[in-house]
Chains A and B, each alone.
Chain A
């Protein structure tokens, strides 16, 4: 018998027992819907976590001049003068997967205004820093490419510095501070960022163009560090490798010799994220497995009842020429139709529930096409797996016994 005809017969048989068929499907519907909603919730939670980590900067790569791990003379990091602006430019041009890049030249200084003063870090940096750190200004603006190229004496204050010099919450934009006896115009205040990954107060610093620190404050041409953000968190490792390889070539470091720089990523963070993702995935997979198995058992149960109930029909079909495999296919297709229709409705319900959770409870959900495909595939597999035993039972019936069955 053709598959299309078998399908028609299966649909007809299921339609004859609407109530029973729909209740059987319900098991499958709930299973699939649960999987999809769970995975959507899980993904939503995960992307929330990812966003939090991203704000801390898992996709960040720090390159520091010097290497306090190598050589007989241990210099502090950032102390060597081998890292140059050209290195940073080469990294930006030649290493793929980089989103933003900022050169850093750092010093410490007393910052003075009126009768207030405060000793803080002077971070010479680049225009892309706020983008790398997803760190907007609270007042005013960050400096511009022109400020960098002209080594302009402009400063953006960290909020702690602002609090110390002008009082909490004040807007000192347009005022002037003095750094090493040079006047800097305050053009903005960074919003508060809190503690950094090292526990330091990230707000206790002022930000000025790195060219200004090089030329106006220190009179140097090398740089201390480079901060890079990768396009994706997954791309961090490859960017770090690319940077290392490029700098070794540029600095003419022979194979086997130690680097004269350090590349650091927030690997711990990334590892933690991977672990959390895997745990979440395992949890969801087990929920998926359990609910779909329960749905499958429902299908097997009803198919067994159906085979027993229709023993006489099976006997008749065999007497008029149905082979064992015709009967097998008939019941297998019935089980498959139950599970697939259940799966399809379950997908709809799962998407609906996810949407409702977001809309009415505000829980973040992300419906993943993978989970939908997986749940649907699983429901088909369940139908075949749990439908096979009843179908085989039907196919192996003795036609004489089956015809006599009352």
Chain B
């Protein structure tokens, strides 16, 4: 069963007066569990709107969106918040970590908004595990300003993982990182995808970053214009091995 089922999805914004912006014009796509999907397209193509709807941050104007088989396209704000908490992990371009808050506490944050109470020792354990999964053991008590950009993004990835989400939504996760750090971050996504079978949706406008995915869909003018398996997929771990070690 696909983890994401999208049928005839449209989104129309009313901007001042009678001007309508049709950001999505009938999108239909399935994403299977365990896929690493790259979503590309120029700005204004509708990929951000698509990602907001997939991330349950926004609701479609028409069409349906089923996550794990449940239609979530007509849920209320609070219900969407609950879905985001349980099933979706977000990774943003700007990391969005809380300043002057330790890595551990940043990672624990989604557990605080869960509908079930989690004891503080349980929270610490889960957060430590998530940090270990992104290779940040020993940095639990560092604050964001004591971490490099790549490390901050890894904390953000750990935060997105802590609730065992169905999908991981990464919105331009390498946009603020240098090329080597970008490869490191993509390595983490590929390993989580391969080793733990986590479904990853990667939104990017950079074609070379999209090549780390197993499948790429391209947006233009609110529609999917291309949907391809990546034949020549890039492998971050191999590229890292070939690079000279960090000085």
What 0/1 readout, one digit per residue, does chain A (301-324) give for beta carbons within 8 Å of chain B? 000000000001101111111111
Contacts of A315 in B (CB 8 A): 96
What 0/1 readout, one digit per residue, does chain B (94-134) give for beta carbons within 8 Å of chain A? 10101111000000011011100100000000000000000
- Which interface residue of A312, A316, A324 has the most chain B CB atoms within 10 A? A316
* CB pair B92 A321 closer than 8 Å: no
* CB pair B96 A2 closer than 8 Å: no
Interface size (B, Cβ < 8 Å)? Answer: 27
Cβ of A245 < 8 Å from any Cβ of B? no
Contacts of B77 in A (CB 8 A): 323-324
Nearest Cβ distance between residue B225 and chain A, in whole angstroms? 24
* CB pair B112 A1 closer than 8 Å: yes
Which residue of chain B lies nearest to A316 when distances are taken between CB atoms in the complex? Answer: B96
Contacts of A322 in B (CB 8 A): 81, 113
Provide the main secondary structure of the chain A interface.
helix
Pick from A313, A321, A400: contact of B52, CB under 8 Å: A400
New contact pairs (16) apart from A1-B113, A320-B84, CB-CB < 8 Å: A1-B112, A316-B92, A316-B96, A319-B57, A320-B90, A320-B110, A320-B159, A321-B84, A321-B85, A321-B86, A321-B114, A323-B77, A323-B82, A400-B52, A403-B57, A403-B92
In Å, the complex CA distance between A403 and B156 comes to: 14
Cβ of A326 < 8 Å from any Cβ of B? yes
What are 8 of the A-B contact pairs (CB < 8 Å)?
A16-B100, A316-B96, A317-B113, A319-B57, A320-B113, A321-B85, A321-B113, A321-B114
Pick from A5, A12, A324: contact of B112, CB under 8 Å: A5
In Å, the complex CA distance between A208 and B116 comes to: 87
In Å, the complex CA distance between A316 and B163 comes to: 15
* CB pair B113 A326 closer than 8 Å: yes
In Å, the complex CA distance between A322 and B55 comes to: 14
Nearest 6 A/B pairs, CB to CB: A321-B85, A321-B113, A320-B110, A316-B96, A323-B81, A323-B78
* Chain A residues at the B interface, C-beta cutoff of 8 Å: 1-2, 5, 12, 16, 312-313, 315-326, 399-400, 403
Contacts of B140 in A (CB 8 A): none
Nearest Cβ distance between residue B19 and chain A, in whole angstroms? 19
Cβ of B58 < 8 Å from any Cβ of A? yes
Contacts of A326 in B (CB 8 A): 113
Pick from A12, A16, A320, A324: contact of B109, CB under 8 Å: A320
In Å, the complex CA distance between A403 and B51 comes to: 13
In Å, the complex CA distance between A377 and B73 comes to: 45
Nearest Cβ distance between residue B142 and chain A, in whole angstroms? 17
- Given A1-B113, A320-B159: A403 and B96 within 8 A (CB)? yes
In Å, the complex CA distance between A400 and B52 comes to: 7
What 0/1 readout, one digit per residue, does chain B (52-78) give for beta carbons within 8 Å of chain A? 100101100000000000000000011
Contacts of A318 in B (CB 8 A): 57, 81, 84
In Å, the complex CA distance between A403 and B90 comes to: 11
Nearest Cβ distance between residue A398 and chain B, in whole angstroms? 8
Nearest Cβ distance between residue A71 and chain B, in whole angstroms? 83
Nearest Cβ distance between residue A14 and chain B, in whole angstroms? 12
In Å, the complex CA distance between A313 and B96 comes to: 7
Contacts of B117 in A (CB 8 A): 2
- Given A1-B112, A313-B98: A319 and B55 within 8 A (CB)? yes
In Å, the complex CA distance between A315 and B58 comes to: 13
Nearest Cβ distance between residue A81 and chain B, in whole angstroms? 86
* CB pair A312 B52 closer than 8 Å: no
In Å, the complex CA distance between A325 and B76 comes to: 13
In Å, the complex CA distance between A406 and B80 comes to: 24
Contacts of A321 in B (CB 8 A): 81-82, 84-86, 110, 113-114, 163
Nearest Cβ distance between residue A38 and chain B, in whole angstroms? 39
Which residue of chain A lies nearest to B105 when distances are taken between CB atoms in the complex? Answer: A12
Nearest Cβ distance between residue A396 and chain B, in whole angstroms? 10
* CB pair B100 A319 closer than 8 Å: no
In Å, the complex CA distance between A1 and B90 comes to: 20
Nearest Cβ distance between residue A100 and chain B, in whole angstroms? 66
Contacts of B57 in A (CB 8 A): 318-319, 399-400, 403
Which residue of chain A lies nearest to B160 when distances are taken between CB atoms in the complex? Answer: A320
In Å, the complex CA distance between A403 and B58 comes to: 13
Which residue of chain A lies nearest to B48 when distances are taken between CB atoms in the complex? Answer: A400
Which residue of chain A lies nearest to B110 when distances are taken between CB atoms in the complex? Answer: A320
Contacts of B163 in A (CB 8 A): 321
In Å, the complex CA distance between A317 and B85 comes to: 10
Nearest Cβ distance between residue A19 and chain B, in whole angstroms? 14
Which residue of chain A lies nearest to B49 when distances are taken between CB atoms in the complex? Answer: A400
In Å, the complex CA distance between A315 and B52 comes to: 13
Contacts of A400 in B (CB 8 A): 52, 57-58
In Å, the complex CA distance between A324 and B112 comes to: 14
Which residue of chain B lies nearest to A320 when distances are taken between CB atoms in the complex? Answer: B110
* CB pair A317 B109 closer than 8 Å: yes
Which residue of chain B lies nearest to A15 when distances are taken between CB atoms in the complex? Answer: B100
Nearest Cβ distance between residue B173 and chain A, in whole angstroms? 14
In Å, the complex CA distance between A91 and B163 comes to: 82
